[in-house]
Amino acid sequence: MVPEDGLVPQHTISKACATLEDQAPSRQRTSHERPSPLLCTTPQQSVASEQCIASEQCSSLSQAKQLTTSQQPIAVEQCPTADPDAATEHKTHPEEHASESDLGFDSDSDPPPGPSQRTRFHESSQSTRKRIEQTLHLAIVVGKDQDPVVSAEWLQEVGEDMLQSDAAVGKYIALKHPHIKVTILKPRLGDITKLAEKLQGCDAIHILESEQFLGQHNYKNYRTMFEVLHRLGPRLVPSLSTMQYIMTKVDYINLMDQHNVPHVPTFVLERPTEFKKFEKSIRQMVDWIQGLDPVPLHIITKPSHSGSKLHFQKWFVAGLRQNSVAFATALRRLFVHSQKPFVLVQPFIQGLADLEYRLFFVNRAFVSCVSTQWRVTSAGKADMKRCNVDDKALLPILQSVAQRIVDVLPADSVMYRVDMFKHEGRWAVNEIEMVDGDMMPEFHDDDSDIIQRVADAIVKLPVPVLGLPSAKSLLPVIDSQPELDVTAEQWRSVAGIVKTGLKDVERLPENLRDDQRGPLQEWIDILPQLLDVKDMKELCEEWGLEPKGTKRELAAAVGHRLMQEEETRACAPPPKKKPRTRKEGDAAAPADDSGAEDETRASALPPKKKPRTRKKSDAAAPAGKANTVNRGAKPFP
């Protein structure tokens, strides 16, 4: 259908479609053929090739209204007027931008029209209004409502000051690629099953982040979501199996293992399907913890499918025997109540808890990086602080590690985020995400507007993504595995295995940080030579610590307290001194600090309890926040 105003060039898609549809039935692509080109090709292409592409596109589009099971690729020719570079100069009418419907039904809309009914006005650089046939209908399903995008200049072109980042991707596509009709959907939890209905007329469906709205981090909802998404068939980009692969955590950890990419050592507990098998894996987990060198002070448990640190739990290993019932109860909650398919057990790594770097890759190329830190707000909630990374020298180092895993990740996602951290001087990967709202331009360098990069990459994806390697997750796409009914008695037996299986671990103070472990070890060696058990017990009582345990455990308690005091002193502002009259020779006087430091050391132990005999080895006594002794936590393969 040629627009009435006749302003669209003769070889546009609409013209080509009309002609070819009349003349020949659409050609079916054989399954081994790679889907050719992409949603968008360059305007420089020859008319002949445009027509060929258009014929394929017509056949796909004509099938697009049926919930497609078609294996047909959709290739859409970009109208010359939609040249992204030219379009940046254009002003389009705000009401002509991405249509937006909210599955929350704030603004309910009819099912989207079929391809033949889609048109849109676009203005050329000569300010001539052009009617552009919208040849592809792309849906962007938004997964969460945080992550506003601010300060992107192009937002003004769509009449917005601020947008949620996933929605911004959709708006950007609509702005720069007027031949693509974009529908932005913001489904809410109760709307999962209505999703497929809303997406009926769409040719391609991109789900950027589905966990919050669709899943609410509950695997029961994920199951429904997977079922619904499965019905959308190959129109889904990235594919459902790739989405599951990245959501499952365990899949990419296995991949990192295969490719020797440093990551957190992980023991995976699988949801109980057979109780004997589950018991066995609990035993193996206990052995695995005890086999770590050194046995970690703390371990953590976290579910395979999660986000925002939800259900993350930290366990003091020396207290795990006493807490075995709480541990089993936590597993029960994750497996039975939240129906998580896997629970990951890992050593607690201080460096990971303290600071992470999120590296963004678009089409496997590094784009930018933000650093993140968890904080506790005044309201007691965990909150993530994001910062730009000023130390640019760090980026190639991080990137070289992350690139190794990015290169082997499934190809049908345009974007990956790799979360990294430092442990004992080495960089390693914690997590991989497919998409995320951390795309706010202010956290990235000006020349790397990740929204635009992601949007342009999505537009270039073949639809469907056949031919691009997707991934095979451990979990079936339709995960209908029945739950095993583990009885309360059986859960008690799980606790029993933890209690009896764990050997006594030397009890170190529960709030000891990993980086304090080395210096504390030195205190543990030295203190029993300086103080007897009675002295150490007295000190413990004086300081409100439990005066119990072996000689080494008492030394650990006393040593830790001394280290804490030294750290506090080191952080305290220097005491105010009375100004004194400056005398001759003052310039040569030693700095006040050195005297103060001597005093600090001397007062490390209370005066009465000063060491009776000072030995040679005393010189090695740690000075508070000393270097971490590398005990080769050997976590990283």
Ligand X SMILES: Nc1ncnc2c1ncn2[C@@H]1O[C@H](COP(=O)(O)OP(=O)(O)O)[C@@H](O)[C@H]1O
Interface positions with ligand X (CB under 6 A)? 264, 300, 302, 306-310, 312, 346, 348-349, 352-353, 356, 374, 430-431
The residues in 422-451 that bind Mg ion, with binding defined as CB under 5 A, are 431
The length of the chain is 637
Q: How many residues bind Mg ion, per CB under 5 A?
A: 1
Q: How far is the CB of 220 from Mg ion (least distance, A)?
A: 22
Sequence-separated (6 or more) residues with CB below 8 Å from residue 158 = 94, 97, 98, 171, 174, 175
Nearest alpha carbon to residue 241 among 480, 460, 475, 17:
475
Euclidean distance between CA atoms 286 and 281, whole angstroms: 9
Cross-strand pairs, 415:
362
Token pair, residue 155, equals 């937002």
302 binds, among ligand X, Mg ion, none (CB under 5 to 8 A by kind): ligand X
The binder of 306, among Mg ion, ligand X, none, by C-beta within 5 to 8 A per type, is ligand X
Residue number, 209 or 431, with CB nearest to Mg ion = 431
Q: Minimal distance in Å, beta carbon 273 to ligand X? A: 24
Closer residue to ligand X in complex, CB, 225/232: 225
State which residue, 176 or 302, has the beta carbon closest to ligand X.
302
Cβ nearer to ligand X, comparing 27 with 309:
309
CA angle 634, 636, 637 (to 5 degrees): 105
Which run of H or of E encompasses 236?
strand 236-237
Return the number of the residue (315 or 523) whose C-beta is nearest ligand X.
315
Question: Following CA atoms 348, 349, 353, 354 in sequence, which dihedral angle do they give, to the nearest 10 degrees?
Answer: 150
CB of 206 to ligand X, least distance (A): 21
**Contact of residue 353 among Mg ion, ligand X, none (CB under 5-8 Å per partner type):** ligand X
To ligand X, the closest distance from the beta carbon of 287 in angstroms equals 19
Instruction: In whole angstroms, give the CA distance from residue 344 to residue 269.
Output: 6
To ligand X, the closest distance from the beta carbon of 143 in angstroms equals 13
Q: Supply 229's token pair.
A: 């998404």
d(Cα 347, Cα 424) in Å, to the nearest integer?
A: 14
- Least distance from ligand X to the Cβ atom of residue 626, Å: 22
CB atoms within 10 A of CB 500: 12
* Least Cβ distance, residue 351 to ligand X (angstroms): 8
CB of 345 to Mg ion, least distance (A): 17
Q: Binding to Mg ion (CB under 5 A): which residues in 373-432?
A: 431
- Compute the least distance from the CB of residue 502 to Mg ion, in Å: 28
Q: Which residues pair with 369 in a beta bridge?
A: 359
How far is residue 281's CA from residue 297's CA, in Å, rounded to a whole number? 22
- Assess contact for 529 and 615: CB atoms under 8 A: yes
300 contacts which partner out of ligand X, Mg ion, none, CB within 5 to 8 A by kind?
ligand X
Binding mask 97-116 for Mg ion (x = CB under 5 A): --------------------
294: preceding bond cis by omega (within 30 degrees): yes
User: For residues 288 and 374, which CB has a smaller minimum distance to Mg ion in the complex?
Assistant: 374
Task: Tell me the residue type at 84.
Answer: P
Q: Which is nearer to ligand X, 123 or 514 (CB)?
A: 514
Smallest distance, Mg ion to C-beta of residue 2, A: 51
3-state secondary structure of 109: coil
Residues 6+ apart with CB under 8 A from 278: 269, 270, 272, 484, 486, 494
The residue assigned the tokens 């959907």 is 185
209 near Mg ion (CB under 5 A): no
Nearer to ligand X, 123 or 356 (CB): 356
Instruction: Pick one of ligand X, Mg ion, none as the site partner of residue 348 (Cβ within 5 to 8 A by kind).
Output: ligand X
Q: How far is the CB of 369 from ligand X (least distance, A)?
A: 15
Q: Are 226 and 478 in contact (CB under 8 A)?
A: yes
Q: Which residues are within 8 A (CB) of 6 and not within 5 positions of it... i.e. 6 or more apart? A: none
520 contact, one of Mg ion, ligand X, none, CB 5-8 Å limit per kind: none
Q: Which is nearer to Mg ion, 431 or 535 (CB)?
A: 431
Partner interacting with residue 309 (select from ligand X, Mg ion, none; CB below 5-8 Å by kind): ligand X
Could you say which of ligand X, Mg ion, none residue 464 binds, taking C-beta under 5 to 8 angstroms by partner kind? none
How much is the CA Rg of the chain, to the nearest whole Å? 31
Q: Select the binding partner of residue 82 from ligand X, Mg ion, none (C-beta < 5 to 8 A, by kind).
A: none
CA 413, CA 247: separation in Å to the nearest integer? 13
Residue whose entry in the numeric block shows the structure tokens 């001759």 = 584
Choice between 6 and 291, CB closer to ligand X: 291
Nearer to Mg ion, 157 or 431 (CB): 431
Which residues of this protein are in contact with Mg ion, per CB under 5 A?
Answer: 431
